[in-house]
Structure 1
Amino acid sequence: MSHAVDLLVRRARQAVVVIEAIKLLESDLSAGCDTVWVVEAPEDQQISRLMHKRDLTEAAARQRIAAQSPQSLKLQAAKVVIHNSGSFEGTWEQVQNAWSKIPRPEEPLLRAPVTARPGQLVVRRGRPQDAEEIARFITRVTHGRKRMTRADVMAAFGEKAYLLIARDGQLAGVAGWQVENLVTRVDELYFEPGLPLDEAIPALMETVETASAELQSEASLLFLAPYLARHVGAWRAVGYKPQTVQGLGVRAWQEAALESMPRGASLWFKRLREDRVLRPL
């Protein structure tokens, strides 16, 4: 695994590379890190979160925590400690503050954004300050079947990113996605009624795949609600096809699908690169 991580780091074009690993300190990966960050929360809060987010029993949650090294040892090894027992905003501020102190080469100034034409779709990355707008949009376009609050979206930012589609300055689409273990997963898609999907889908997926390439993702999995899966031509036009979990063939991709697929969704697949980095031993 350390060889695979080393290969990924050497391929990366970014000035800073982050390794997120539960057992970082128990492996030889930590020796290659310039700094170690540890996220700290009381054990009872860890148990509560595992039960709520992972749907574990209390006994299973305690067993998972017990399988890790003592938190006290991690705190001793940490150069940065993020206290995660308060609000999402408080945790985010700590991360932003610590991140700003990392020395890195001066980056070129970003180009000024191109002025969008009337009716043109613009895709950009969502930010924590967009949480309220994202929550209102999802609640509205689902007619309240999925009620979201700002706190819900802030919590989701801990696991995934959001891409926003705007048209004439108004939010017209939201996609929730993540890359984990070199597999892209798009598990939330919401569009304004009447939005031309033959335009929105290519614009959205181009952004997803560009960002996925930066993260060296091997494959992309879409989980489509039935009303979105009916747009077969639009998805096939950007290279996706319906697939079964079994048909994915690669264990890591199958595990990602089983872990992320929402109930009632269909699985669509696209291979993003031919060479694989993480192979089963």
Structure 2
Amino acid sequence: MGKWPEKYVIGLTGNIGTGKSVVRRMLEHLGAYGIDADALAHRAIAKNAPGYQPVVKMFGRWILNDDGEINRARLGKIVFADAEAMKALEEIVHPLVLSAVDIIISRSRQRVIVIEAIKLLETNIHAMCDSIWVTAAPRETQIQRLVKNRKMSESDARQRVDAQPPAHLKTSAAMVVIENTGTFEQTWQRVVAEWQKIVPQTEKEPEALVSERKEKQFTFQILRGKPGNSAEIADLYNRLRPAARKYSREDVMAAFGEKAFLLLKVDSRLRGLIAWQVENLVSRTVDILMDPLVEADQCLPALVEEMEKASRDLQSEASLVFVPKRLAGLELMWKKIGYKPVNPPEISVSAWQEAALESAQPDSVLYFKQLRQDRVMRPI
């Protein structure tokens, strides 16, 4: 039994580029609460965070950007090339991350928790878990993913991959190994099979129907999107974004590895959706699609409200909504539900500002809302 006796905690690790985050999000779709310990480590050394001054003192002010934030790329060039430097950094950051993980789990409502951490086995976290899962992929696949998804140069990608311990050291310690080399659907089926072994039969996957609303003369339903909805979601993208690239069912299946969907149905037909993710305690709505035949100002607030409910359940501190220009003009509607248009530099908390910059969408207006006053990370 782990440190948190009322929870079932999965420790999820694997070398860089093996798809840990995809597997974590799959578990979140199934009802687990996901924690990205690596993102917490980044947050622990942000400006004014407790790890900031010790790291600057250890490595020098040259690692800082002009705005005073730590440039992680510069820091990475030091620690990934020097084992002693990496050890010094970890001695500063790991206790802060462990404290944050403890706070978040103690506040979570979900029974199953998944902690994603690349250094899971090298820290005390693994001893607190009930099960250890490891993702694996061939070396060349790891490098290709880093180049494609993280925009690294090939030489930087190879340095990152080669700086890590051999993969077999992780897989040999695993209770579950996820070979993440096939399609999203193949990996999904593997994760579902393992999930069903740990979740009692009485604990079913959350129902798809979230709520049913009536506005004026029509009734609509809001449903939680499932991988099984991939074909109709792809059809909606292709119908409402005809100038964009064509989406296939497989494209949407893969998107479930990055985000969650809330679907709007009128008379059983899919008429709209929002897609969002909660990363590092910040909600980021990155896609909004609304059929012009539907009155957006009647339906969109309900979708956003349900997104906020789900986000608060995941302890999200703030909501960032990237609104397409056609819907950004509904200023009174956005104001009524508590949002205001902002530019990322206007956001006061560095972690929220960083999330806004990371998730920025072309041809959209950023609307912002703080979801809670008692910030989860403030205790550390």
Matched, 1:236 2:335: yes
Q: Which structure has the higher relative contact order (CA within 8 Å, separation 6+)?
A: 2
Cα distance in structure 2, aligned partners of 1:255 and 1:275: 20
Give the structure 1 partner of residue 285 of structure 2: 186
Give the structure 2 partner of residue 168 of structure 1: 267
- Pick from 280, 299, 311 the counterpart of residue 212 of structure 1: 311
Structure 1 residue runs without a partner (length 5+): none
Bigger Rg, structure 1 or 2: 2
Identity of aligned residues (%): 46
Report SS of the residue matched to 2:116. coil
How many residue pairs end up in the alignment? Answer: 281
Q: Give 1:89 deviation, angstroms.
A: 1.4
Q: Give 1:235 deviation, angstroms.
A: 1.2
Q: Is the Cα–Cα contact under 8 Å of residues 178 and 187 in structure 2 kept in the other structure?
A: yes
Cα distance in structure 2, aligned partners of 1:242 and 1:272: 15
Q: Is the Cα–Cα contact under 8 Å of residues 138 and 146 in structure 1 kept in the other structure?
A: no
Structure 2 residue runs without a partner (length 5+): 1-96
Q: Is the Cα–Cα contact under 8 Å of residues 208 and 224 in structure 2 kept in the other structure?
A: no
Pairwise CA RMSD = 2.3
Q: Is the Cα–Cα contact under 8 Å of residues 320 and 367 in structure 2 kept in the other structure?
A: yes
Report SS of the residue matched to 1:217. coil
Q: Is the Cα–Cα contact under 8 Å of residues 315 and 376 in structure 2 kept in the other structure?
A: no
Report SS of the residue matched to 1:24. coil
Larger deviation: 117-126 or 211-220?
117-126
Larger deviation: 42-51 or 210-219?
42-51
Paired amino acid for 2:357 = L
Query: 5 Å matches for 1:1-281?
Result: 1-104=97-200, 106-107=202-203, 119-279=218-378
Q: Is the Cα–Cα contact under 8 Å of residues 132 and 149 in structure 1 kept in the other structure?
A: yes
Cα distance in structure 2, aligned partners of 1:258 and 1:226: 18
Q: Give 1:44 deviation, angstroms.
A: 0.9
Cα distance in structure 2, aligned partners of 1:150 and 1:110: 22
Q: Give 1:120 deviation, angstroms.
A: 1.3
With the length of structure 1 as denominator, give the TM-score of the two structures. 0.92
Report SS of the residue matched to 1:62. helix
Paired amino acid for 1:80 = V
Larger deviation: 45-54 or 178-187?
45-54
Residue deviations 1:14-36, cap 9 Å, x none?
11111122222233222211111
